[in-house]
Amino acid sequence: ERTPVPSRLDVLVVGAGFSGLYALHRLRELGHAVHVVEAADDIGGVWHHNRYPGARCDIESVDYCYSFSDELIREWDWTERYPAQPEILRYIHHVADRFDLRRDITLGTRVTALTWDEGAVRWTARTDRGDEIAADHVIMATGQLSVAQIPAIPGLDDFAGGWYHTGNWPRDGVDFTGRRVGVIGTGSSGVQAIPQIARQAAHLTVFQRTAHFAVPARNRPLDQAYAAALKTRFAEYREQARNHPGGTHRVLSRQSALEATPEELRATFERHWNNGGPDILAAYRDLISDRAANEKAAEYVRGKIRELVRDPEVAERLIPRGYPFGTKRLVLEIGYYETFNRDNVELVDVRATPIERITPAGVRTGEREHPLDTLVFATGFDALTGALLKVDIRGVGGASLREKWAAGPRTYLGISTAGFPNLFFIAGPGSPSVLSNVLVSIEQHVEWVSEHLEHLRKNGLRRSEADLEREDAWVAHVNEVAAATLYPVGNSWYLGANVPGKPRVFMPYVGGVGRYRRICAEVAADGYTGFHLS
Ligand code: NA7
């Protein structure tokens, strides 16, 4: 039974993942008529869709959670250092029940169009179920990595076996027992799924285009004494993250990798390798800004791959080259490299021998046909802008957001875009979201937008629109801070590089979560500079 969508709202929230659920809770508490519309048949966002074997967060569980409720923090116990998808999804369901969110969520309904009505000073939303909703404000909580990207390889329709994308995994799972499986893609999703599939399948062929840098997760049961102690000072703990460049607790070294001796480098990297996790990126202050410094870390990891993979030829193929360490998202792995020591696993370098087509019986590369029963696409997402531009958004004068962003997304603070009043993005392009602990960013965005809506209400204001010049200045600032790093050098989804034809623009804000928070707070304190309010 579908929960009906009210036809008139103060705030329409699109998406029922971490962002949308918190926006609903927060705005409802403030007394707004707010409702969430979600395309999927259940809540959870990416954690609903990414059910592939091995799916796990690359942020620690004690950080990857909400902080808005002390009771919630006290009553929820994580079990692992890095939470697996089923546990995160249980957490999300727990939150929805705990705060009675479901009554204001309509599932199985996709918002297809948003049209600004200047006369009425509000949006009209349309859905694929025929709803028409009038809302004063719209919050897009549609996710950063929610539109699965399936490459246009000829012949997919002819494939006789089953095929799946990691980001759209069937609810009942996939049984690989006795199957010959192919996995295309070796980013975070592929690297997580490959060891799990290899254990089940009769044979696994991994099609790799780019070798990604991966470091051990060193996942383990969460130390419950540590977690309990953390709960007693969680507010302070989280406050530190809010003011940290990455929204985390990563210790940032002040030392240059170029000043360290080879012995020091080795000892430092070794310590990080053994601890596991992505903190190795901050082992020296210049790893992400100086190519020569970066190369020290890259060489260390290459050496590790050579140690872990028995066949030297396979090891060479798995070794990342030609782009800096950590500039494509650093992958956390669990038994990934060792998987290539198994007899039933084969690595195909599709840069050397490109995939020509998919046949009914498998995948044909320039070299030969690889017979397959099942094909898995771990090929990533149309990140950051994909879900926003899937909706036909028409702002002032009928202008289309797709057209406005044709050469890349343009936002003010990652939250809003000129010409589209009363429309807010949670963790949008131009915000630090994907380069931070995204839960810290999501909470900040939702709280900032909620306060903004409170400000409008208290002052009898109905319309809020970002100023175009301020937006241009923000875009310039986002580019400027990115250009001071090596990030734009990696061909990553941060740049849209994984989607053919997508404009190459570095989308996340790398200026730091703490700095971003201060900028947003100043904008609010000054009466929302850069916004036209009326
Ligand atoms: P990613 O990180 O975008 O990885 C996708 C992978 O798929 C990557 O190795 C791509 O190679 C590969 N790919 C994409 N298209 C093709 C084609 N046409 N042929 C061969 N290989 C292809 O996505 P993930 O899902 O792993 O992770 C996304 C984020 O989710 C992750 O960073 C975490 O934040 C959570 P490429 O590197 O582009 O050469």
What single string gives the DSSP state of each residue in 293-348?
HHHHHHHHHHHHHHHH-SSHHHHHHHS--SS-TTSSPPEEESSHHHHTTSTTEEEE
Residue-level pLDDT at 124: 98
Contacts 24+ apart (CB under 8 A), 449-456: 449/23, 449/139, 449/415, 449/424, 450/23, 450/26, 450/27, 450/30, 451/524, 452/424, 452/524, 452/528, 452/531, 453/10, 453/11, 453/27, 453/30, 453/32, 453/137, 454/30, 455/524, 455/528, 456/533
Instruction: Give the integer Cα–Cα distance in Å for 186 and 474.
Output: 33
Question: Which residue among 144, 189, 206 is best mutated to probe the pocket of ligand 1, counting the most ligand atoms within 8 A of its Cβ?
Answer: 189
Is 186 a pocket residue for ligand 1 (Cβ < 6 Å)?
A: yes
How large is the angle between the packed helices 224-232 and 234-242, nearest 10 degrees? 80
> What are the C-alpha distances in Å from 412 to residues 11, 445, 476, 477?
20, 13, 10, 10
Determine contact, residues 84/56, Cβ cutoff 8 Å: yes
**Atom 32, ligand 1: residue with shortest CA distance:** 329
**Spacing, Cα 88 to ligand 1 middle (Å):** 22
The dihedral sign for the CA sequence 464, 470, 475, 478? negative
**Spacing, Cα 237 to ligand 1 middle (Å):** 33
**Atom 28, ligand 1: residue with shortest CA distance:** 380
**Spacing, Cα 371 to ligand 1 middle (Å):** 23
Q: Which amino acid is at 47?
A: W
Overall pTM surpassing 0.80 (yes/no): yes
Residues (pLDDT < 50) of the chain are none
Residue-level pLDDT at 244: 94
**Atom 27, ligand 1: residue with shortest CA distance:** 188
Q: To 10 degrees, the CA torsion angle through 380, 384, 385, 387?
A: 70
Q: Which residue has the tokens 């309509």?
A: 106
Cα 414-440-229 angle, rounded to 5 deg:
175
pLDDT in tens, 372-404: 999 999 999 999 999 999 999 999 999 999 999
pLDDT in tens, 406-440: 999 999 999 999 999 999 999 999 999 999 999 99
Residue 377's nearest CA partner among 52, 20, 32 is 52
Is 329 a pocket residue for ligand 1 (Cβ < 6 Å)?
A: yes
Question: Which residue among 168, 209, 281, 349 is best mutated to probe the pocket of ligand 1, counting the most ligand atoms within 8 A of its Cβ?
Answer: 209
Is 109 a pocket residue for ligand 1 (Cβ < 6 Å)?
A: no
Is 297 a pocket residue for ligand 1 (Cβ < 6 Å)?
A: no
Residue-level pLDDT at 140: 98
**Spacing, Cα 2 to ligand 1 middle (Å):** 35
**Spacing, Cα 428 to ligand 1 middle (Å):** 20
Atom of ligand 1 nearest to the CA of 166: 25
Determine contact, residues 294/324, Cβ cutoff 8 Å: yes
